[in-house]
């Protein structure tokens, strides 16, 4: 192979790598990946959750599909999207970590979104020990659809928007550990603030369902009671 041919084929290889990077170069497409990391969804559901119209959501999903990050299945007239593999979830989680560490704008944007946190947090390892001891309540505050798709074993489901009206379903004398989608999910922060304002002992899991799955820890999927 001549040097010119080697150079051309190398350029094609790196251009192919770059195509994946281009597919990720949109905050809304990353948000869609974040939602799909929780489980399969229809275009309608993704559009609603991401605050997009159907046309825009479909265009973003097509870009992600062309890059190989998502796959689809058809159920009648409805198209369901899901991540193409756990490696896509790993890439998404790593991208956030790298950006948080090296992109100067991320920490300030993160803090502005998540708000001040003065309530503490718990690691996955400590959570598993405490669950085994039976001295905590684990609370999933994601939407019910996401809980059904997979949750930490033994976790109760109260979506954060329902928490104020259902707080009496939680024991008053037991510490509550709250989790949601992942490390940068505001739902757990909002839930802990609400619970502590109502006099409950509540802290966050220091990440969420995305990291729990990627750690290959047990996941339950069951009907709500």
Active-site option among 160, 163, 180, 191: 180
In angstroms, the CA 128 to CA 103 distance is 33
Half-sphere exposure of 191 (CA within 13 A, CB side): 31
In angstroms, the CA 44 to CA 91 distance is 25
- The answer to whether residues 79 and 44 touch, using CB atoms and an 8 Å cutoff, is no
- The answer to whether residues 211 and 122 touch, using CB atoms and an 8 Å cutoff, is no
Q: 180 catalytic, yes or no?
A: yes
Candidates 94, 98, 68, 81; CA nearest to 38 is 81
In angstroms, the CA 162 to CA 143 distance is 10
Q: Which sequence positions are flagged as catalytic? A: 180
């Amino acid at each position: 192979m001549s040097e010119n041919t080697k150079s051309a084929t190398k350029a094609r290889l790196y251009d192919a790598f770059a195509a994946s990077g281009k597919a990720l170069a949109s905050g809304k497409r990353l948000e869609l990946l974040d939602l799909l990391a929780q489980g399969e969804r229809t275009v309608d559901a993704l559009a609603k959750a991401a605050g997009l119209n159907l046309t825009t959501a479909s265009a973003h999903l097509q870009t992600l599909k062309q890059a190989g990050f998502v796959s689809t299945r058809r159920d009648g007239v409805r198209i369901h999207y899901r991540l193409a593999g756990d490696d896509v979830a790993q890439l998404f989680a790593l991208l956030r970590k790298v950006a948080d560490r090296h992109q100067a704008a991320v920490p300030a944007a993160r803090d502005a979104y998540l708000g001040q946190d003065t309530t503490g947090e718990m690691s996955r390892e400590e959570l598993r020990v405490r669950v085994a001891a039976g001295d905590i309540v684990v609370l999933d505050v994601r939407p019910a659809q996401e809980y059904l798709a997979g949750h930490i074993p033994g976790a109760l489901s109260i979506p954060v928007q329902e928490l104020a009206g259902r707080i009496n379903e939680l024991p008053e004398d037991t510490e509550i550990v709250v989790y949601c989608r992942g490390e940068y999910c505001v739902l757990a922060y909002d839930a802990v603030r609400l619970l502590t304002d109502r006099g409950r002992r509540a802290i966050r899991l220091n990440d969420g369902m995305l990291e729990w799955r990627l750690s290959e820890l047990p996941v339950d999927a069951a009907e709500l009671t």
